[in-house]
Amino acid sequence: MTDVFGADFLDRIDGAGAVQNAAAFASLRERGFPNRRVEAWRYTDLTGPLGRALAPAGLRINQEQSGLFGPIPAAEVSHRSADPDTDALSLLNASLAGEGFLFDVPEKVRLKPVFARFGPMAENALVNANNQIRLAPGAQATLIERWGNTDDSWLNSDTNIELAEGAHLTRVILVEDGGAGTQTHRTAARLAESARYDCLVVTIGGGLHRIEQHVDINAAGAHAGLAALVLKTGQEHSDFVTSVRHLAADTTSDQQVRTVVDEQATAIFQGGIHVAQDSQRIEGDQLSRALMLSDRAQAFTKPELEIFADDVKCSHGATVGDLSDEALFYLRTRGIEESRARALLVLAFAREPLAAVDLPDAVEAMLDEKLKAWLGVPGAFEELAL
Amino acid sequence: MLDIKGLRADLEDGTKILKGIDLQIAAGEVHAIMGPNGSGKSTTANVLSGKPGYQVTGGSVRLDGADLMEMEPEERAHAGLFQAFQYPVEIPGVQASTFLQSAVNAKRKAAGLDGLDALAFVRELRAKAKTLGIGNDMLKRAVNVGFSGGEKKRFETLQMALLEPRMAVLDETDSGLDIDALRVVADGVNALRSKDRSFLVITHYQRLLEYIVPDHVHILSDGRIVRSGDKSLALEVEQSGYAEFQAA
Ligand SMILES: Nc1ncnc2c1ncn2[C@@H]1O[C@H](COP(=O)(O)OP(=O)(O)O)[C@@H](O)[C@H]1O
Ligand SMILES: [Mg+2]
């Protein structure tokens, strides 16, 4: 029992007296954390964060006023599953989380975008968040989440999403780290008839980021659009995982992932599309493109297509490349210095997932600025009003 | 203004392409280079601009006395060189107008001037685009993406008009143009002719030279200038073909 992966880490947590859900914790103790022999964790090693002396601590939530968005009531948190099949990080979350947010949008309500920021309250913190998003039939909402971490902390969250008939959620998850912190965020979404889930994940910086999106498309007419922009440099590591399950006929999904890796960074995209037997007339697209700005950077794409129906149009493509020398030269002959020419080309590439999701202008502008700051050209290349 | 002496250039695999080119272009002059396909016309333009993939093995190129071959491509642009490409590159995701503003302001910055603000730039852009028949919708598109052959050439000409180079090298600016488009582009070029701006017009056909009338014409064959003359040389070549030069 003591030789499971992460046993020491769990001992320290137990010692801190922070466990809220003993059943979940016992289950986690028994199985430990996934090591790299587990297929889904082949590229990502939790040794770093598990080796840190982290103290369970609270979640800071800053949000604009909204009656429908707020801290989650304890009753909604405590009933988390301690099912042994649950992901180890979800068990960790279930063991410790007393907090998170609840976003509950009533029938046919159309909301203005809600902006919320999340972060640790302390240094060296292990922060768990357990979130619920529920859109009643015909509701439409846009949620902009910004998860910011400190150098040595670990932010770990689970978000459950229920979209009822005809509900439409547009969501941005901006995962930022100034330092070498760890962030692991999982989403499990369930889509009813004609529901639509559009989500853009942007991950910048950080020691280790692993973002997972699991979407069950449960009824006809529903659509999942997953887009991601991954910007990594230095020793940073990102693992973006999707699993879109078409569990009903006449459903569609689209996944657009763009990765930019520089220096010695590593980025992985594990993209799953599953089409169940009898789920006919499915369209599922997936395109992953990675841009390598350094010879020592690494980008991996692992598409997983499991298709058990016949009338299915699924496509997936993956490219890894560097900047076009021809384009770079063309820009330079126009007097644009090399570093700016490079920035302009990377910017064009990195903007693609932003265009894949219909975002409010202010959000797009905010993300655009993040991108430019990352590229070292803040405020540059403004689009002209013609 | 432009002084090319004994310019030799190889491909990276060692293939010799330019085998000693001598060419002097004075301020305000228009020179034309004609020659068969594969004779090294584009290579000449590319080597002047500093395109990677070529090895300059001999000779010198000076623009207003400054050694071009020692400069980065962007420095050559700042020094006043401009190349209108035979095959302009498509750059997805980079809006044409944003690109143009970046280019203009990069050049201004290199000259120690402040960048133009959006308003001032748009005013100038609109005026110059209009004379070339370039509308807003084209300027909102990505650079060269989905442009027709004629649109690409007009867009190259617009860049030249905005960047106001000292020395413009036009590589087959006529290729792929119908007669109306050719006129628009030629008018654009002619409007820029001035006593302190020079042009090197590269073309396979003499048709363009009816619209952009050169002071001197050179025939390039197998990496060398084999004959030079006035504009009547272009007509002569049109009638007799390049065969006699290739045989030489
Ligand atoms: N980058 C290059 N890579 C390989 N071959 C090249 C390259 N540039 C030029 N060449 C070769 O050099 C010769 C001259 O080409 P080019 O200068 O394009 O001729 P022109 O413009 O006169 O038609 C041709 O044989 C062409 O195939
Ligand atoms: Mg050519």
Considering only residues A373 and A3, tell me which one the structure prediction assigns the higher pLDDT. A373
Q: Mean of the pLDDT values across residues B134-138? A: 94
Chain B residues touching residue A348 (CB < 8 angstroms): 91-94, 142
Pair of tokens at residue B190: 């002619």
Please give the distance, rounded to the nearest whole angstrom, from the Cα atom of residue A148 to the centre of ligand 1: 53
Please give the distance, rounded to the nearest whole angstrom, from the Cα atom of residue A330 to the centre of ligand 2: 16
Displacement of CA B40 from its chain's centroid (Å): 14
Give ipTM to 2 decimals: 0.96
Q: Is B155 at the interface with chain A, CB within 8 A?
A: no
pLDDT at A378 over 60: yes
pLDDT at A82 over 60: no
Chain A residues touching residue B106 (CB < 8 angstroms): 334-337, 340
Give CA–CA dist A78/A127, Å, rounded. Answer: 16
Transcribe B15-81 into DSSP letters. Answer: -EEEEEEEEEE-TT-EEEEE--TTSSHHHHHHHHHT-TTEEEEEEEEEETTEEGGGS-HHHHHHTTE
CA angle, A286 as apex, A284 and A288 as ends, to 5°?
180
Closest CA to B103 of B82, B89, B123, B133: B82
pLDDT computed for residue A332 by the predictor: 98
Q: Give the tens place of pLDDT for each residue, B144-164.
A: 999 999 999 999 999 999 999
How confident is the prediction for chain B on average, in pLDDT?
Answer: 94
pLDDT at A83 over 70: no
- The minimum CA-CA distance between A236 and chain B, rounded to whole Å, is 26
Tell me if B203 CB under 6 Å of ligand 1. Answer: no
CA angle, A225 as apex, A224 and A227 as ends, to 5°?
145
Confidence of residue B248 (pLDDT cuts 50, 70, 90): very low
**The residue to which tokens 């007009």 are assigned:** B154
CATH of the domain at B13: 3.40.50.300
How many domains would you assign to chain B? Answer: 1
Most A-contacting residue of B68, B91, B116, B138 (CB-CB within 10 A), to test interface? B91
- Whether residues A384 and B97 touch (CB distance < 8 A) is answered with yes
Chain A residues touching residue B84 (CB < 8 angstroms): none
Pair of tokens at residue A326: 């021809």
Most A-contacting residue of B42, B85, B98 (CB-CB within 10 A), to test interface? B98
Residue A217: count other Cβ atoms within 10 Å of its Cβ.
31
Transcribe B101-157 into DSSP letters. Answer: HHHHHHHHHHTTPPPPPHHHHHHHHHHHHHHTT--HHHHHSEETTT--HHHHHHHHH
Q: Give the tens place of pLDDT for each residue, A258-315.
A: 999 999 999 999 999 999 999 999 999 999 999 999 999 999 999 999 999 999 999 9
Pair of tokens at residue A328: 């770079």
Give CA–CA dist B211/B162, Å, rounded. Answer: 21
Closest CA to B140 of A386, A344, A379: A386
- Whether residues A384 and B98 touch (CB distance < 8 A) is answered with yes
Q: Mean of the pLDDT values across residues B113-141? A: 94
Please give the distance, rounded to the nearest whole angstrom, from the Cα atom of residue B180 to the centre of ligand 2: 22
Q: Give the tens place of pLDDT for each residue, A336-371.
A: 999 999 999 999 999 999 999 999 999 999 999 999
Q: Give the tens place of pLDDT for each residue, A176-235.
A: 987 889 999 999 999 999 999 999 999 999 999 999 999 999 999 999 999 999 999 999
Give CA–CA dist A206/A203, Å, rounded. Answer: 8
Give CA–CA dist A267/B192, Å, rounded. Answer: 50
- Whether residues B92 and A348 touch (CB distance < 8 A) is answered with yes
Transcribe A305-360 into DSSP letters. Answer: EEE--SSEEEEEEEEEE---HHHHHHHHHTT--HHHHHHHHHHHHHTHHHHHS---
pLDDT computed for residue B32 by the predictor: 97
Return the bridge partners of B33, or none.
Answer: B202, B218
Q: Mean of the pLDDT values across residues A157-171? A: 97
Confidence of residue A81 (pLDDT cuts 50, 70, 90): low
Confidence of residue A84 (pLDDT cuts 50, 70, 90): low
Domain range enclosing B113: 2-246
Contact (CB, 8 A) for A247 and A257 = no
Q: Is B82 at the interface with chain A, CB within 8 A?
A: yes
pLDDT computed for residue A385 by the predictor: 85
Lowest mean pLDDT among A246-250, A326-330, B57-61, B176-180: B176-180
Give CA–CA dist A43/A377, Å, rounded. Answer: 31
- Nearest residue (CA) to ligand 1, atom 8: B43
Contact (CB, 8 A) for A225 and A199 = yes
Residue A227: count other Cβ atoms within 10 Å of its Cβ.
22
Chain A residues touching residue B97 (CB < 8 angstroms): 383-384, 386
pTM assigned to the model: 0.94
